[in-house]
Amino acid sequence: MAVTGLAARAPARGDLDPDDLVLEGPHTYRVHTRAYTDPAVFEAEMERIFSRTWVYIGHESEIPHPGDYKTAHIGRQPVIVSRGDGGEIHVLVNRCVHRGSVVCRSPRGTANYFRCPYHGWVYGKDGSLAGIAMREGDSGYSEHFAAPAGLMRVPSVATYRGLIFASFNPEVPSIEQHLGRAAFLIDNKIDQSPVGEIALRSDPYVVTYRGNWKFQAENIVDGYHFTFVHEGFIKLQERYGDSTGDFGVHRGRSMAEVRRIRARGVSWGCSQGHGLSAKPVDQIESLLDGRLGDYYRELLERHGPERLAWIAGSGAMSIFPNLGIIHHQIRVWRPLAPDLTEVTVYPYELRGAPDEINQGWLRSQERFYGPAGHGMPDDVEIFALNQQGLDASAVDWLILERGIDSERRDEVGDYEGLPSGETPQRAFWRRWKRLMAEG
């Protein structure tokens, strides 16, 4: 689908003061319409958020061997994520340092070098400039030519359990500091694999919606919307249950039961801006005695009963600013314009798990996600309706106050709240406000 940025209608009104955009009080949490619509806000986000923090760019299993590469974006900066000869990961800006052409045209592949299509400059897997075509001679480059070292390297690259993050900020805190409590939920997800590894094998779903990127960041951990936006899906569950391949992912066979199940669990809003929600399993015995008992007993042996309850439970994450993990998928959202966002859903496999499980969960995701699924198209429809609704700029504020009186702050500065509260969303906006205020 060809898409064009429909960017933004209202011009920026004066200087950007985040205090004007996020209103905080003891029982109040409101976000201004302009935070989602103003092109000046969007420009500032690209600089102050996407160029300063860690941004998720891919998974190690996408580039397993030397020479493997994929392309990605850090905000609006296109990058190549390349595996070097020693297995190291290079993150290179996808722009020839000579006259600017895109160097790599494929979304993924294997290459010994990258060659600019314009004048044939050649770069190695690590981005180093390996050759300049027709360098010598009177019409060539001066002997004093200050040749660039190669493609621009993104200064900070880190991995956590196979997830690759990069940042244009050379001073960015460690990835462990950035992830904080989110690492616990990431570990729970990845430890569903008996060998503690996931792999991206399936093609991803890619959907573009006409709304701001922050709607997706908020919604992936929004416990409040499910019984409304997905009311139709719950009706399908009533009628079809597991018979059409849900594979036990969506529990509850009636609206009342779904409400009851979804009222359990916990949510966190992390100081780093992450929103998390999780629900450990109440009775691990039922899993150990169930159809997939062998698989769960293997996990029990490895992790013990307390961890297993978390590992086998449900969990969803919005990792600031662009990464989601939910069910058995990695989700990435990419801001294209104030009112245009691309979402990519990468189903992952659990290495070492029985084929039945990996295939079952893949079919389950196929049923809910993707542009023809029974769930995700409804979410992105709402994101577009949100954006259009905000054209009504006569109304100033959006209200994000659910559960504000019941959340409590812990010793590391994270907030803990109840499942259908807006604790995760407030955490996003607190971090957003801090970064935007740094100017």
Establish if 232 lies at the interface with another protein (CB under 8 A). yes
Tokens 């908020």 — which residue? 218
Among 367, 402, 426, 431, binds another protein (CB under 8 A): 367
Query: For residues 142 and 72, what is the distance between their CA atoms, to the nearest angstrom?
Result: 35
Least distance (Å) from another protein to the CB of residue 377?
4
Closest C-alpha among 227, 52, 285, 33 to residue 155? 52
Nearer Cβ to another protein (174/359): 359
Residues in region 270-329 near another protein by CB under 8 A:
none
Distances (CA, A) of 166 to 128, 178, 333, 356: 18, 12, 15, 34
Closest C-alpha among 110, 65, 69 to residue 85? 65
Question: By CB under 8 A, which span of 117-125, 179-187, 302-310, 385-393 interacts with another protein?
Answer: 385-393
Give the DSSP letter string of 51-95.
Answer: TTS-EEEEEGGGS-STTEEEEEEETTEEEEEEE-TTS-EEEEESS
Rounded to the nearest 5°, which phi and psi values hold at 67?
95, -20
Q: How many residues bind another protein (CB under 8 A)?
A: 45
Establish if 393 lies at the interface with another protein (CB under 8 A). no
Least distance (Å) from another protein to the CB of residue 240?
5
Are the C-beta atoms of residues 355 and 307 closer than 8 Å to each other? Answer: no
Establish if 227 lies at the interface with another protein (CB under 8 A). no
Establish if 108 lies at the interface with another protein (CB under 8 A). no
Establish if 8 lies at the interface with another protein (CB under 8 A). no
Which residue type is seen at 284?
I
Question: By CB under 8 A, which span of 138-146, 179-187, 205-213, 270-278 interacts with another protein?
Answer: 205-213
Least distance (Å) from another protein to the CB of residue 334?
10
Among 13, 201, 291, 408, binds another protein (CB under 8 A): 201
Which residue type is seen at 367?
R
Establish if 235 lies at the interface with another protein (CB under 8 A). yes
End-to-end distance of the chain based on CA atoms, in angstroms? 36
Establish if 203 lies at the interface with another protein (CB under 8 A). yes
Residues that bind another protein (CB under 8 A): 1, 3, 201-208, 210, 229, 231-233, 235-236, 239-240, 243-245, 342, 347, 358-359, 362-363, 365-367, 370-374, 377-378, 380-382, 384-385, 387-388
